[in-house]
Structure 1
Amino acid sequence: MKNEFNIKKMIINNGGYVGLPFPNLNFENLQPDLLTVGEAIKGKNILGKPFFMDVTIDGVRLPNEPLITISSKKNIVETALIGNERKGTVKEFISNDNYKIKIEGVCIDMKNPKSYPTEQVQNIIDLVSKNIPVSISNSICELFQINEIVIKNYSFPNMQGKPFSQGYILMCESNEDFYAIKKSLQ
């Protein structure tokens, strides 16, 4: 018994999308549709491909579009209700916590992919060595109005089986300057 499979048809039926067979082959003038992709495109990589979530910290663009996760929590005080007739708690909003920002990326030297990305790794080491708040520029951070961060923790995990690359993880918190306003008593 002979089985025949039409791979292209299976992909269309299951995923609804078939990509280009050979990206960058005779498609020099192919531009992304900003109405469907978004307006977060700010730069291009060495191959001319547009970045979508470019990340710049203190003037240093992090390589290869790292992943960013932003989370936060609300500080809420819960007070238990007294009596048999009512159940639960009363919740009182106190404040919002700082945003927690996790940045995960991989350093790969695209100009020389057969060598360790020493310059990229050194740039990140220089960033994490700063003991002051640093500026951040990223489309999703702009939505949350995050302009400054403090790098609290960082790691450079091993890349077993992946030579000539180096992963990095930056654990950051948003930082806002607080100013005291002096009121005169008149």
Structure 2
Amino acid sequence: MSYYSKAKFFTSAPDIKHLDDDTGVEIAFAGRSNAGKSSALNTLTRQKNLARTSKTPGRTQLINVFELEGDRRLVDLPGYGYAKVPLAMKEKWQRSLGEYLQKRKSLKGLVVLMDIRHPFKDLDQDLIHWAVSADLPVLALMTKSDKLKAGKRKAQLLMAREAAMAFCGDVTVQTFSALNRQGLPEFEAILNKWFGIERQDQPD
């Protein structure tokens, strides 16, 4: 059994100011509304409905927090870039997000999910720049890797890894598929490192 399969819903917050105590360790997940964030969280935790997948991208406007053992949390941030919300609301959210990435002491890593066919859009890049400026490690997780054949997938990965060097920070690029679990062991290994989980702490 995976450590992450014990994840439980903890709370929802309308904005970053309403999050609980800034203690322990948390890792945030962010991405465009159609990047497959909910599916990735469900695959990671081996739960079908932990993070609700919506047929309407961008519907989730709350920050959802999932609790793990040992005062560790997964934080699911609202999707961006697709939802039909007013510009003023988008700008407010972006300011709030920047503040969270730069001031939240318990935040130890950021997973930015991007469709492998459309990596590093402007908002993805903004997010990574914010994280790098806050000395946060970033995992750029290129989702839906099953949509590409092996050769094209490898080419996209190499191109994205080269592009990531421009951020001049701790930015790792990995491919992932929620459908066939491609890339799941590598994804978990990075989270384990950020959470400070030793291999022997993890049941098989």
TM range (shorter): under 0.3
**Structure of higher CA gyration radius:** 1
Larger RCO of the pair (alpha carbons < 8 Å, separation 6+): 2
Given the two structures, how large is their TM-score scaled by the length of structure 1?
A: 0.27
Bigger share in strand: 1
